[in-house]
């Protein structure tokens, strides 16, 4: 190891030590289920807004979008717009309603007026599925990041990193619960925003704070000229690729408000008004961050030779930091590279913790207790099962992430969004806005959306029939698009509708009034924990 690698390793260990310290501190403040699952519902709108940002701005956003812009120019920017506009769905239609009518998980809101067991089980299955896809993306990204920073293309280093990330996330969740996880996310959001702002200022400084000059330099240096600044470089080739992009755009804009690890963050505030404020903060934060990635991506394209990028572009942001810090081999460059890499690592840790927490809670609260214990287990028992589930999910994620390293990170995240939009969002919206929605409708829309989304991907070029497929030797692809959303999201809505109109459930309609009053007024909503 040379001096720079020691510096990098030191900053990584610093991030790990900081997060472990936060987790241990938070564990001393955690006494009951509302603390463990919902952070005592005591986070202010601003704090939760930061934590939402920390939960949402994943490695796919930071490394993936800046890398996509660096490689494909304008088309990388299209992602960030979908990721941002999506927050209006969460703000207007979901956040406050969910905060007022639920308790700990996404299923709480759905099960409010439905038969508990089938609806909770379906919601838990889709929660775990979405979370696992998302987890795999983060863990694969962590492995690639560390291996490339150490300059070794070794499978053992990647596997070891995946194992360490997995072990850390199990630790954060089982020890710190929601409180620890939230504080890890808050610290990460501050680190990420500060680190990116610093690089953005240094990049803009190179171009005299003239965006037009920066774009011109990016177009020239990329070797692609003006088309680099225009839509279509990545998606504009054929009609199929254009429809594929539209399919992706629909999933991005509708997926966010169905991501379980985002939904449960709304429960951590004292009232629905604080939940609304937290979404407003999150929109400001996330929007600013995506404007940063625009500068980072075009900055990398302008200042780094195209042949120096890794094939997926995932290291564009750290490499850019090295260049603007003084160049390859300089001390300033080494410090900034190490800093940004450590920030990216913190980003990954905060997101995987949120995902593990969400899925383990759902297993304990929505499946184990209602289905296997008939709802008779105490909350203390439920928490214990939740901790065990966090360990199991962490192990499963580690075991799946090792073979999943050949999959593209952005694809895994897009799949998580597509499943969330197809399986979760129709049920959440119907439940709130349609009196006639019932148990069969909920179950059909969740399983139907999930199976359609995953099934179409299996029969798409992602799996077989193309050189870049998972199984390039075989060809069982008949669905032409890599993104299933354009079919699977309408399917989720359609099945929810058909399921509801073909079954009678007066109890579900009767409790709709109660749900609506509670959702809009907050009457009877869960309050904050008094310590």
Partner 1 sequence: MAQSHDHAERHDPIYDQLAAKPEFDRLRHLYRRFIIPATIAFISWYALYVLMSMFAPGFMNHVLFGNINVALVFGLLQFVTTFGIAYLYSQYSNKHLDPLARQLNDEYDAYRASNGGN
> Cα separations (Å) of 433 from 105, 171, 430, 519, 520?
19, 39, 5, 11, 12
Written as one string, the DSSP assignment of 407-475 is S-HHHHHHHHHHHIIIIIHHHHHHHHH-TT--HHHHHHHHHHHHHHHHHHHHTSTTTBSSTTSSBTT--
> Cα separations (Å) of 214 from 205, 211, 220, 295?
10, 5, 10, 8
Question: Are residues 22 and 183 in contact, defined by beta-carbon separation less than 8 angstroms?
Answer: yes
CB of 104 vs partner 1, minimal distance in Å: 10
Range in contact with partner 1 (rule: CB under 8 A) among 19-27, 370-378, 408-416, 443-451: 370-378
DSSP 3-state of 480: coil
Work out whether 265 is an interface residue with partner 1 (CB under 8 A). Answer: no
* CB burial of residue 220 (10 Å; 0-12, 13-18, 19+): middle
**Would you say 27 or 381 has its CB closer to partner 1?**
381
Other CB atoms within 10 A of residue 305 CB: 9
CB of 214 vs partner 1, minimal distance in Å: 8
Taking each helix axis from N to C terminus, what angle separates 239-255 and 485-501, rounded to the nearest 10 degrees?
50
Range in contact with partner 1 (rule: CB under 8 A) among 24-32, 184-192, 235-243, 458-466: 235-243
- The 3-state DSSP composition of the chain as helix, strand, coil percent (nearest 5) reads 80, 0, 20
Selected from 16, 494, 517, 529, the binder of partner 1 by CB under 8 A is: 517
**Would you say 28 or 376 has its CB closer to partner 1?**
376
Torsion region of 328: left, alpha or beta (phi above 0 gives left; psi -120 to 50 gives alpha): beta
Question: Are residues 450 and 424 in contact, defined by beta-carbon separation less than 8 angstroms?
Answer: no
Work out whether 369 is an interface residue with partner 1 (CB under 8 A). Answer: yes
Range in contact with partner 1 (rule: CB under 8 A) among 186-194, 282-290, 411-419, 457-465: 282-290
**What track of x and - describes contact with partner 1 for positions 378 through 417 (by CB under 8 A)?**
xx--------------------------------------
CB of 525 vs partner 1, minimal distance in Å: 8
**What track of x and - describes contact with partner 1 for positions 442 through 471 (by CB under 8 A)?**
------------------------------
**Would you say 308 or 510 has its CB closer to partner 1?**
510
* CB burial of residue 74 (10 Å; 0-12, 13-18, 19+): buried
**Would you say 348 or 364 has its CB closer to partner 1?**
364
Rounded distance between C-alpha atoms, residue 512 and residue 436, angstroms: 9
> What is the distance of C-alpha 436 from the center of its chain?
32
> Cα separations (Å) of 53 from 76, 88, 286, 297?
20, 15, 6, 20
For residues 340, 150, 411, 322, the Cα torsion angle rounded to the nearest 10 degrees is 30
Work out whether 235 is an interface residue with partner 1 (CB under 8 A). Answer: yes
**Angle at the Cα of 187 (from 349 to 350), degrees rounded to 5?**
20
**Would you say 171 or 512 has its CB closer to partner 1?**
512
Rounded distance between C-alpha atoms, residue 160 and residue 41, angstroms: 36
Selected from 7, 114, 349, 352, the binder of partner 1 by CB under 8 A is: 114
Work out whether 327 is an interface residue with partner 1 (CB under 8 A). Answer: no
Work out whether 52 is an interface residue with partner 1 (CB under 8 A). Answer: no
**What track of x and - describes contact with partner 1 for positions 85 through 104 (by CB under 8 A)?**
x-xxx-xxx-----------
Number of residues that bind partner 1 (CB under 8 A): 70
Range in contact with partner 1 (rule: CB under 8 A) among 5-13, 192-200, 261-269, 280-288: 280-288
Work out whether 234 is an interface residue with partner 1 (CB under 8 A). Answer: no
**Would you say 56 or 345 has its CB closer to partner 1?**
56
Helix and strand counts by DSSP (H, E) for the chain: 23, 0
3-state secondary structure 247-305: HHHHHHHHHHHHCHHHHHHHHHCCCHHHHHHHHHHHHHHHHHHHHHHHHHHHHHHHHCC
Work out whether 115 is an interface residue with partner 1 (CB under 8 A). Answer: yes
Work out whether 280 is an interface residue with partner 1 (CB under 8 A). Answer: yes
**Would you say 401 or 414 has its CB closer to partner 1?**
414
Reported residue count of the chain is 531
**Would you say 88 or 458 has its CB closer to partner 1?**
88
Work out whether 74 is an interface residue with partner 1 (CB under 8 A). Answer: yes
Q: Which of residues 205-224 bind partner 1 (CB under 8 A)?
A: 211-213, 215-216, 219
Selected from 37, 56, 134, 290, the binder of partner 1 by CB under 8 A is: 290
Residues 6+ apart with CB under 8 A from 157: 143, 146, 147, 150
CB of 507 vs partner 1, minimal distance in Å: 5
**Would you say 75 or 322 has its CB closer to partner 1?**
75
Selected from 246, 466, 477, 528, the binder of partner 1 by CB under 8 A is: 246
Work out whether 513 is an interface residue with partner 1 (CB under 8 A). Answer: yes
CB of 342 vs partner 1, minimal distance in Å: 28
Range in contact with partner 1 (rule: CB under 8 A) among 79-87, 304-312, 355-363, 450-458: 79-87
CB of 92 vs partner 1, minimal distance in Å: 5
3-state secondary structure 319-351: HHHHHHCCCCCCHHHHHHHHHHHHHHHHHHHHH
Dihedral pair phi/psi, residue 107, rounded to 5°: -65, -25
Work out whether 426 is an interface residue with partner 1 (CB under 8 A). Answer: no
Contact residues toward partner 1 (CB under 8 A) are 74, 77-78, 81-82, 84-85, 87-89, 91-93, 111-117, 211-213, 215-216, 219, 226, 229-232, 235-236, 242, 245-246, 249, 253, 273, 276-277, 279-280, 283-284, 287, 290-291, 369-371, 374-376, 378-379, 507-508, 510-511, 513-514, 516-518, 520-524
């Amino acid at each position: 190891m040379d001096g720079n690698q020691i510096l990098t390793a030191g900053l990584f260990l610093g991030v790990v030590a900081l997060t472990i310290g936060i987790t241990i501190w938070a564990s001393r403040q955690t006494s009951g289920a509302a603390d463990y699952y919902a952070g005592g519902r005591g986070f202010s709108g601003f704090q939760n807004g930061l934590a939402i940002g920390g939960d949402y701005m994943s490695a796919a956003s930071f490394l993936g979008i800046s890398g996509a812009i660096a490689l494909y120019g304008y088309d990388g920017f299209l992602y960030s717009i979908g990721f941002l506009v999506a927050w209006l769905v969460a703000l207007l239609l979901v956040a406050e309603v969910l905060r007022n009518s639920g308790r700990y998980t996404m299923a709480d809101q759905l099960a409010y007026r439905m038969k508990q067991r089938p609806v909770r089980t379906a919601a838990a299955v889709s929660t775990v599925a979405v979370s696992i896809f998302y987890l795999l993306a983060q863990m694969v990204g962590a492995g690639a990041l560390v291996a490339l920073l150490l300059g070794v293309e070794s499978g053992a280093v990647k596997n070891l990193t995946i194992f360490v990330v997995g072990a850390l996330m199990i630790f954060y969740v089982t020890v710190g619960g929601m409180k620890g996880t939230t504080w890890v996310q808050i610290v990460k959001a501050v680190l990420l925003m500060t680190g990116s702002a610093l690089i953005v200022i240094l990049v803009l400084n190179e171009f005299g704070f003239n965006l037009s000059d920066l774009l011109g330099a990016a177009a020239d240096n990329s070797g692609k000229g003006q088309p680099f600044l225009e839509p279509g470089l990545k998606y504009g080739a054929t009609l199929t690729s254009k429809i594929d992009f539209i399919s992706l755009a629909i999933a991005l804009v509708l997926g966010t408000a169905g991501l379980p690890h985002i939904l449960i963050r709304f429960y951590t505030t004292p009232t629905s008004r604080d939940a609304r404020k937290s979404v407003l903060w999150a929109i400001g934060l996330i929007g600013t961050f995506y404007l940063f990635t625009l500068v980072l991506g075009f900055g990398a394209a302008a200042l780094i030779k195209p042949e120096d990028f890794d094939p997926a572009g995932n290291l564009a942001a750290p490499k850019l930091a090295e260049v603007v810090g003084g160049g390859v081999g300089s001390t300033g460059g080494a410090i900034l590279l190490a800093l940004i890499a450590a920030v990216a690592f913190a980003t990954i840790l905060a997101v995987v913790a949120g995902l593990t927490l969400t899925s383990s809670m759902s297993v304990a609260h929505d499946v184990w207790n209602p289905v296997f214990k008939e709802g008779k287990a105490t909350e203390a028992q439920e928490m214990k099962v939740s901790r065990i589930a966090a360990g199991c999910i962490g192990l499963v994620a580690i075991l799946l992430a090792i073979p999943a390293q050949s999959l593209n990170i952005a694809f895994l995240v897009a799949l998580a969004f597509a499943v969330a939009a197809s399986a979760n969002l129709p049920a959440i919206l119907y439940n709130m806005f349609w009196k006639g929605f019932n148990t069969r409708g909920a179950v059909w829309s969740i399983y139907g959306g999930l199976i359609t989304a995953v099934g179409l991907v299996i029969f798409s070029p992602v799996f077989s029939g193309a050189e870049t497929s998972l199984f390039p030797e075989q060809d069982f692809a008949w669905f032409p698009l890599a993104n299933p959303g354009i079919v699977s999201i309408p399917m989720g809505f359609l099945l929810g509708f058909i399921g509801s109109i073909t079954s009678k459930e007066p109890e579900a309609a009767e409790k709709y009034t109660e749900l609506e009053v509670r959702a809009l007024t907050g009457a009877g909503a869960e309050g904050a924990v008094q310590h």
